[in-house]
Amino acid sequence: MSRIAYVNGRYVPHREAKVHVEDRGYQFSDGIYEVVALANGRFVDLEPHLDRLERSLRELRIAMPTTRAALVLAMEEVVGRNRVRDGIIYVQMTRGVAPRDHAFPARARTQVVMTAKSTKPHPAKYEEDGVKAVTVPEIRWHRCDIKSVSLLPNVLAKQAAREGGAYEAIFVTPDGVVTEGSSSNAWIVTRDGKLVTRALSNEILGGITRQTLMDIAREEGVEVEERPFTLAEARQAREAFVTSTTSYAMPVTQIDDAVIANGKPGTISRRLRQSYIAYMARA
Ligand code: PDD
C-alpha cells in the first residue's frame, strides 16, 4: 500500500511529499514536533501530547496553525489513509517559509507535515534480556524541555549507540549526572526499591510516557523519587530502564561496560512495562 503524507492541508503520496527549500525548519531547525503512538487504532495519551505541542509552539512563538479539533481530525485522516492500527504518527510544525534571515519573518505561516506508519512489536529479546546503553557527554542547549526538531546532538548520540552495539545513548553532564536518553527519559530502581527519575526542568524533555509511567507506578504502590541521579548510581542500581512513546518502558541491563545487577531485566521494570502495555491497549 502506498503511504500518504500530510503537507499543509494536502494528502500526498509519501514519495512526492516535499517542503520548500526556504522552510525555516530545513534551514534553521526552527520548528517543533510530536510523536504519538497508536494502539488498536487509537491515539495513546493524545491530549498530553497536544498540550506539549502547543507549549513547544508557545515557547518558540510559532503560531498554532489551526484549532486543536481540526488538527486532530487531520491526524485521524492521516492515520486512516495509512491504515495504521498499531504504530506512530509524526507531527511537525515549523515557523514558515521566508527568505533566509535568522530573525523571525514579519509574516510567516506555520508549516505542518504529518506522516504515519505501522510499527512491529519489539523483539522478544529486548524483554527477555534488556538492552544496552552507552553514555555520551551532554552537549545540548538549555531548552531541552521544548520538543524542537533541532536534534543534532541526539542524532550523534544515537549514532554512537548504533556504533557501540547499543539501543540507546544516555547523556551525562560533566559532573557525572544523567540527564536523559537521546530519545527517551532515564530511570533507575535503587537498592532499596525506589524508582528514580529526574524532575522536570529545562534540561530534559517532559516525556509523556514518563508521566504516565510515574502515575502507573504510584498506583501500583511503587515509591517514586524525582531527583537527579549520577552515572555511578545508575551503574550500581538494582534496575535501569528508559521510557518513550516508541520504547514504552525498556529495560536497560548494561551501561557502557557495566552490567546492571545480574544482567537481566528487574522485576519492577518488567512489571511496569507490562502495565504500560496494558494501559496502551486500553487507550
Ligand atoms: N522522542 N527525551 C527525548 C530527548 C525524546 O526525544 C523523547 C521522545 C523523550 C520521551 O518522550 P515521550 O515519552 O513523550 O515520547 C524524552 C520521540 C519518541 C522521538 O523523537 O522519536
Per-residue pLDDT tens over the stretch 155-199: 999 999 999 999 999 999 999 999 999 999 999 999 999 999 999
Distance 107 CA to ligand 1 centre (A): 31
C-alpha cell at 130: 534488556
Question: What's the whole-number mean pLDDT along residues 83-89?
Answer: 98
The catalytically annotated residue of 117, 120, 125, 147 is 147
Q: Which ligand 1 atom is the nearest neighbour of the CA of 147? A: 6
pLDDT at 283: 87
Q: What SS3 state is found at 189? A: strand
Work out the angle between the directed axes of helices 68-81 and 46-60 (0-180°, nearest 10). Answer: 120
Average pLDDT over every residue of 246-260: 98
| pLDDT tens digits, one per residue of 98-136 | 999 999 999 999 999 999 999 999 999 999 999 999 999
Cell of 85: 492500527
Tell me the residue type at 25.
G
What value does the mean pLDDT take over residues 243-248? 98
Q: How much is the CA Rg of the chain, to the nearest whole Å?
A: 19
Distance 207 CA to ligand 1 centre (A): 6
Query: Count of alpha carbons within 13 Å of 113, Cβ hemisphere only?
Result: 18
Could you write out the DSSP letters of every residue in 24-50? HHHHH--EEEEEEEEETTEESSHHHHH
CB count, 10 Å around CB of 151? 16
d(CA 41, CA 15) in angstroms, rounded, equals: 24
Interval between CA 184 and ligand 1 midpoint (Å): 5
Q: Which residue has the cell 486500553?
A: 282
Q: In what side-by-side order are the strands of the sheet with 31-39?
A: 10-13, 4-7, 111-118, 87-94, 31-39, 42-43
Q: How confident is the model at residue 262, as a pLDDT? A: 97
User: Which domains, from first to last, does the chain contain?
Assistant: 4-118 (3.30.470.10), 124-282 (3.20.10.10)
Residue nearest to atom 4 of ligand 1 (CA): 183
Pocket of ligand 1 (CB under 6 A): 35, 154, 180, 183-185, 205, 207-210, 243-246
Longest dimension (CA), the chain: 58
2 band by pLDDT with thresholds 50, 70 and 90: low
